[in-house]
Chains A and B, each alone.
Chain A
Amino acid sequence: MNLWLVLTINSIAMGGLLFLLACGLSLIFGLMRIPNLMHGSFFMLGAYLGVTFLRLGLRFWFAAVVAAIVLAAIGFGIERLLLRRLSGQALAQVLITLGLSLIVADSCLLGWGGDPISVNTPPALSGFTAVFGAPFPTYRLVVVLIAVFVAIALWVMIDRTRLGAMIRAGVDDPAMARVVGIPVPRLFSVVFSLGAGLAGFGGIIGAPILSVYPGLDNDMLPLSLIVVILGGTGSLLGAFVGSFVIGFLYNFGQVMFPALAYVILFLPMLVVLVLRPQGLFGTLAS
């Protein structure tokens, strides 16, 4: 196994998985101006629901899509029933997402037990593919393809559709967007629901690599927050680049500076926050 080559490929694979998780968070952060502290919970809940669907006999990809839809519905409900009542009170909203993340964690413990669950790789993708001569797990490559596909789909939506234009307007200047008649609160529901769905989708897509276990939410939330802060909130490109940067930092950092594993991850975030608070690709909020 060529160490550096495999690390490079895996950095990209991990970046892909992180993007599935972080793109929704970035949009939510950008539009609603709140860091959604239950984003890791969406990821974990998606994984657990996916496991249940798999046990019910659904095919892997079908289970992933159904889990995403359920999560989107849950996200929609949370935005409508809880966050909306507190609109304009960012602190209260953040605390609600934090509280919900704890509730989700213990509910999952109750529902699925504390035993970790490993998820089989879809049989067709369980082998190896040679990348520049190095054998690499096929499934991880597929995750990258899925991430790129999702990235393109999101980009088309944000950049080319009316809905996307409204979201962009909302991210750039919510007050002005309201004035010109854009239903910003309704956008909140759409984006929060979309973010939850994507995170849930990422959860089950990641399950054959990460497995599903209590605490998965806490493992993933910090990574997605770093990605978003590094890339810039509300910026799809930022989330995309940020994901791969973190993918590389995680992989190479742990090999080259094992004692500083966390420092390597968080240091770039600190530097960016100090030198460019809006993130690499973010725009300064007015």
Chain B
Amino acid sequence: MRITRKTAVKTFAAAAAGTAAQALGFSIARAQAEPIKIGLLTILTGPLAFGGIQCRQGIELFLKEKNYTLAGRKIELLVADTGGNPAGAKTKAQELIERDRVDFIIGPFAAFEILAISDYLIQHKMPTMAMAGAIDLTARTPNPFLIRASATSAQAMYPLADYAAKVMKLKNVTTICDDFAFGYEQVGGFQQVFAGDGGRVIKKLWSPLATPDYTPYLVQIQGGDGVVQGLTGSNPVKFMQQYASYGLKGKYPVLGGETAADDALLKSFTAEDAVGMINSCPYSLTYNSPSNKRFVAAMQRTYDDVPGLNAATYYIYGMCVEEALKKTGGRVDDKTALVKALRSVSLADSPRGPFHFDEYGNIVGNIFIRRIDRVNGKLVNTIVKTYPNVSQFWTFDPKQYLATPPYTRDANPPILAQHG
């Protein structure tokens, strides 16, 4: 049965006018009048809520801007709090899919959450838009129903390594990351490009996610000409504070990953501790595009806060849903077609600039290299270089890349030819 918007509007109007609705016409009207349901899996409580709350703000901003109507269809957003753990993610995903019968899932936030439910999402052919960076979700063992508009864990690290080697002319660096998969993938990605450019990672430090005091790691930073940190959550704040308190700041410049100096995190730093840090991120607050200006202004107006990568990505997911619905004419019943539409979304203007998705559903777009500056007493990320069209495969040959083993904690990744 093919339902076009025109017939739907006609039937709906007829029903509204009070003419007797025929059985068929009525059911069509209802099918189209029922809102499209988007399930938001995010983290609103617990230690990871910092990022999760912003995810929610991002998508809600977009939907409010569009008056909860995309491509002519009403949108209903169902928010579920996973609590930041895999079991919670599973429970809430089941509720959203089996009870609420959502048409899309946006989220979850953390890698260990999506890894716990990815198979379940595939079973239900659920079009999913995730934040988590776990590389193989869109690489070696891809989830065919997923799109990722954030970045893989390594995606922002490739340009950072390129910048470190070619612009900063660093030769030997020490890395420090949280001791979990996101850390391994960040360091692996950095090292793969940095080593390819002739640099060397002289020491890899792994600190537990809960590390109150970084001193035992700071004392091991000796020699070399830079420190690369890919810490997450509140850890970058602690780290930079303690890094400065041991006088290391003047000694080795710090380079950070996408979570190390997120725009939304900047207000948490003590200025003296963080000024000068170079960092790499798929989104930047000061990026000059019409939709970013609109987005930042709305964020400030509505939440009295500045957005970072989390809010921006979820805002962009809103844009993706709208574009996909335009392509399917507002239809959501054919999941495969819906995912296809999502993956073919390509926008010239978004808060992070132009982007499209690769054949695995991962975003190809800008990566910004920024420097933390102090402007009028406030910390801001100044864009010092923009790498356009960065894909999850960097400038490697995708086939070659996919044939290499995943990044791990201790192994050095093989050096691949860069075609940039």
Contact = CB atoms under 8 A, between A and B. Distances in A.
Interface of A: 1, 3, 6-7, 10, 14, 105-106, 109, 113-118, 120-121, 128, 135, 137, 139-140, 208-211, 213-216, 218-220, 223, 250-255, 258-259, 261-262
A121 B237 contact: no
28 contacts: A3-B219, A3-B220, A7-B215, A7-B216, A10-B213, A10-B216, A14-B215, A106-B45, A109-B49, A114-B49, A114-B53, A115-B265, A116-B50, A116-B237, A116-B238, A118-B237, A118-B269, A118-B273, A137-B246, A210-B238, A211-B237, A211-B241, A213-B50, A214-B46, A215-B47, A215-B210, A218-B210, A251-B213
Contacts of B52: 114
B264 A115 contact: yes
Contact of A255 (B49, B206, B220, B267): B220
Given A106-B45, A115-B264, A214-B46, A137 B245 contact: yes
B265 A7 contact: no
Contact of B213 (A6, A14, A105, A115): A14
A210 B210 contact: no
Contacts of A137: 245-246
A262 B210 CA distance: 10
Contact of A251 (B45, B51, B215): B215
A129 B138 CA distance: 51
B234 interface: yes
A88 B217 CA distance: 45
Contact of B246 (A1, A114, A115, A261): A1
A240 B310 CA distance: 43
Contacts of B205: 258
B212 interface: yes
Nearest to B51: A114
Contacts of B247: 128, 135
A255 B237 contact: no
B258 to A, nearest CB: 17
B270 interface: yes
B233 interface: yes
Given A10-B213, A210-B238, A214-B47, A118 B246 contact: no
Interface of B: 45-47, 49-53, 179, 205-208, 210, 212-213, 215-217, 219-220, 222, 233-234, 237-238, 241-242, 245-247, 264-265, 267-270, 273
A105 B16 CA distance: 50
Contacts of B246: 1, 6, 137
B216 A251 contact: yes
A1 B219 contact: yes
A171 to B, nearest CB: 29
Contacts of B237: 116, 118, 211, 213
Contacts, number: 114
A140 B247 CA distance: 14
Contacts of A210: 212-213, 238
Contacts of A214: 46-47, 49-50, 234
A133 B6 CA distance: 82
B50 A115 contact: yes
A114 B303 CA distance: 14
A283 B297 CA distance: 63
Given A250-B216, A251-B215, 11 more contacts: A7-B216, A114-B50, A114-B51, A115-B50, A118-B238, A210-B212, A215-B233, A216-B212, A220-B212, A258-B206, A261-B179
Given A1-B246, A109-B45, A116-B268, A213 B212 contact: no
B212 A219 contact: yes
Contact of B215 (A10, A106, A223): A10
A118 B215 contact: no
A208 B270 CA distance: 10
Contacts of A255: 216-217, 219-220
Contacts of B215: 6-7, 10, 14, 251
B183 to A, nearest CB: 13
A114 B264 CA distance: 11
A6 B216 CA distance: 9
A6 B210 contact: no
A262 B211 CA distance: 11
Contacts of B49: 109, 114, 214
Contact of A213 (B206, B234, B264): B234
Contact of A215 (B216, B234, B241): B234
A33 to B, nearest CB: 28
A262 to B, nearest CB: 7
Contacts of A213: 47, 50, 233-234, 237-238
A186 to B, nearest CB: 35
B265 A116 contact: yes
A213 B210 CA distance: 11
A156 B132 CA distance: 54
Contacts of B241: 118, 208-209, 211
Given A139-B245, A254-B216, A218 B47 contact: yes
Q: Which of B215, B269, B270 has the most CB of A within 10 A?
A: B215
A209 B213 CA distance: 8
A216 to B, nearest CB: 8
A105 B205 CA distance: 30
Nearest to B44: A109
Contacts of B264: 115
B225 to A, nearest CB: 16
Contacts of A209: 213, 241-242, 245
A230 B262 CA distance: 40
Contacts of B179: 261
A127 to B, nearest CB: 10
A135 B251 CA distance: 14
Contacts of A3: 219-220, 222
